[in-house]
Amino acid sequence: MKNVCKVFSAIVFAVVIGFSFAACSDGGSSGGGGDHEPHRKRWEDYWYYEKNGEMTIAGYEGSGNNITIPAQINGKPVTSIGNGAFSRCTSLTSITIPNSVTSIGYSAFSGCTSLTSITIPNSVTSIGNSAFYGCTSLTGITIPDSVTSIGVHAFSGCRNLTSITIPDSVTSIGDMVFSDCTSLTSITIPDSVTSIGDMVFFNCTSLISITIPDSVTSIGDAANSAYTVQDGVLYNKNKTILIQYPAGKTGSSFAIPNSVKNIGGGAFSGCSNLNDITIPNGVTSIGVHAFDYCTSLTSITIPDSVTSIGGSAFSTCTRLASVTIGNSVTSIGGGAFSGCSNLNDITIPNSVTSIGNSAFSGCTSLTGITIPDSVTSIGSSAFYYCTNLTSVTIGNGVTSIGVHAFSECRSLASITIPNSVTSIENNAFSGCTSLTNITISNSVTSIKRWAFEDCTSLTAINVDSGNAKYSSENGILYNKNKTELILYPAGKTGFFIIPDSVISIGEGAFSGCRNLTGITIPDSVKSIERGAFSDCTGLTNVTLGNGVTNIGGVAFEDCTSLTSVTIPNSVKSIEYYIFFGCTNLTSVTFQGTISSNGINRDAFGPGDLREKYLAGGKGTYTRPNSDSWTWTKQ
């Protein structure tokens, strides 16, 4: 036998139970049958169904706290507790299962948060996935000798469970069976067990001792004929893979042995006592979630031998202030340093070619970052919510800036897009409220509509004159020949006259321009796209040119200072909610006739303006105040 401490795998951020159910306390039946479940029937406080002369409990609607499940219904044996049969029966404190039952279905008792005692008879052979998931009051459980398999998540989230006995009959233990059992201190796995799943003891923060027998041939992804334990740390046979360092182990520092080449997924996850970890030069890979939630870790040096840093490898190491990345690392995985809120010093070496999604998201102490020329892509949300980031240098190898890549970097004042970049994705810089100017290189061929949404201080977008697709004038972004106005910077103030070259005002072009007070749209403009002037709260004066034929949905939404609008004779189509939220708009003048098919049913939002206009035709329509939904033709 080998004495081992703690967990065998990586953290997950959410547990998804693949069915829906209703809470018993609401009077509806618990449980959620599958698509092929026979028709359910009622018997006393239970729902059941019959198959091949045997009964399965499918739901419970009783009010009792202590229940004994019937052994028979209508003279036929109850052999199974169905999927979700008692799920979220939050008032149940004690359950006795009869000897006739052989199987407990998935999520059968999940979410029974008051359950303190359960008796499982010797007749039961299998405990289904998530069977007791989230039974937070359960303190102890005895599994009978008849059980051969324990399903995925079976006891996950039983946070008051202090002890459990696994019988010699069990041969396999599924993934995450005891994950998040934060009061579990020790466990003995019998000689009958041959396989242990992934993340079985994840976040068992009180666990200090596990006994693993020689019969076990696989733990998670590691399939080996034997394992090695040294000082309570689990390795593969020849100590080239560090599988698990126990989260409950005392001591503030640990030096990984020189023999280790691979730090396994979740190997140090949740080791909150460690503030110093030494990674030897022979290590080549750091697995997913390897050091996440090491909340006392203050610095880490990743040696030159490491080539990859797995996803969420150092996620939520909240005291981690300094990271040195070796010169052989080629990829920084998704979420690798996300939530490292004290990280203020990191250098990305020239060997790195890709920065994964959310790699540094939530690093709120990071003030500057240089992305080397070797990097070709910046993933979605890579630097999302780095609120103190003031300086960003993007290398000449980057070709795309992902969705939300620098979103909510509220201290970032300026940025230059290098000549290598071809695409800037949606919301790439949204919410960068200190950003005042941005320079677009000649290589950019795609800027998504909302790339700079809510950049409230932005006053200038400057496009290189050599760019084949875009142009700028007075800091305003247009297409190359200035027939489409794409983006008017939200930080600009005052009155603006759109140039006569413009035919189309793009989607969200003026959205959030709260200091814009007036706008003149020339006769050359044919189309005002969706949300073009939404949230222009300071806009008091709008002149629509006689060329406009279409006004897009929510075009003037939340223009709260707008009091009157004249819709010219040229307009033939009005889409949905164009004046929604325009609380002070009391006068609308129609200079022409628009067919009922041309006006969306929700064109003007609440009120009767559409109906009054269709009945009364062109003219001026008013309402007495913003509280009234009744319009009158003058």
Strand 54-60 relative to strand 46-51, pairing:
antiparallel
Residue 450 to residue 487: CA distance in whole angstroms: 9
**Element containing residue 195 per DSSP (H, E):** strand 195-196
Reduce the DSSP state of residue 399 to 3 states and report it: coil
Strand partners for 541? 518
Domain assignment present for 625: yes
Residue 526's domain comprises: 493-634
**Element containing residue 88 per DSSP (H, E):** none
Domain assignment present for 618: yes
pLDDT at 57: 96
pLDDT at 226: 52
CA-wise closest residue to 518 among 497, 495, 546, 490: 495
pLDDT at 220: 66
**Element containing residue 544 per DSSP (H, E):** none
Residue 51: phi and psi, rounded to 5, are -145, 125
**CA dihedral (169, 171, 175, 179) positive or negative:** positive
Domain assignment present for 580: yes
568: Cα separation from own chain's centroid: 45
Tell me which residue has tokens 């009091």. 563
Q: Report the C-alpha dihedral over residues 531, 534, 539, 543, rounded to 10 degrees.
A: 20
pLDDT at 251: 87
Indicate the pTM of the whole model. 0.73
CA-wise closest residue to 441 among 416, 408, 424, 460: 416
CA atoms within 13 A on the CB side of 535: 12
CA-wise closest residue to 441 among 409, 470, 473: 470
Cβ within 8 Å of residue 246, ≥6 positions away:
4, 5, 6, 7, 207, 208, 232, 233, 271
Cβ within 8 Å of residue 359, ≥6 positions away:
332, 333, 334, 335, 336, 337, 338, 379, 382, 383
Residue 35 CB neighbours (<10 A): 4
Whether the CB-CB separation of 233 and 209 falls below 8 Å is answered with no
Sheet holding 504-505: strands in order across?
Answer: 470-473, 476-479, 484-487, 504-505, 527-528, 550-551, 573-574
**pLDDT tens digits along 329-338:** 999 999 999 9
Domain assignment present for 297: no
- The per-residue DSSP string of 372-389 comes to -TT--EE-TTTTTT-TT-
Tell me which residue has tokens 């100017």. 437
Domain assignment present for 573: yes
User: In the chain, helix, strand, coil percent, each to 5?
Assistant: 0, 30, 70
Whether the CB-CB separation of 31 and 13 falls below 8 Å is answered with no
Residue 214 to residue 195: CA distance in whole angstroms: 11
The CATH number of whichever domain residue 518 belongs to comes to 3.80.10.10
Residue 507 to residue 532: CA distance in whole angstroms: 5
pLDDT at 233: 87
Residue 446 to residue 470: CA distance in whole angstroms: 9
Count of structural domains, the chain: 1
Q: Report the C-alpha dihedral over residues 90, 96, 98, 101, rounded to 10 degrees.
A: 40
pLDDT at 26: 39
CA-wise closest residue to 411 among 432, 425, 394: 432
Q: Report the C-alpha dihedral over residues 7, 9, 13, 16, rounded to 10 degrees.
A: -100
pLDDT at 452: 96
Q: How far is CA 210 from CA 145, 152, 159, 215, 232, in A?
A: 20, 19, 18, 15, 9
Domain assignment present for 627: yes
Residue 232 to residue 90: CA distance in whole angstroms: 39
* Burial bucket for residue 467 (CB in 10 Å: 0-12, 13-18, 19+): middle
Whether the CB-CB separation of 112 and 89 falls below 8 Å is answered with yes
Domain assignment present for 110: no
**pLDDT tens digits along 137-162:** 998 888 999 999 899 999 999 999 98
142: Cα separation from own chain's centroid: 37
Residue type at 423?
S
Domain assignment present for 473: no
Residue 184 to residue 153: CA distance in whole angstroms: 15
CA-wise closest residue to 379 among 407, 405, 415, 406: 405
Strand 94-96 relative to strand 66-68, pairing:
parallel
CA atoms within 13 A on the CB side of 457: 15
Residue 3 to residue 208: CA distance in whole angstroms: 10
Q: Which residues of the chain have pLDDT under 70?
A: 1-38, 209, 211, 220-226
CA-wise closest residue to 547 among 565, 563, 517, 525: 525
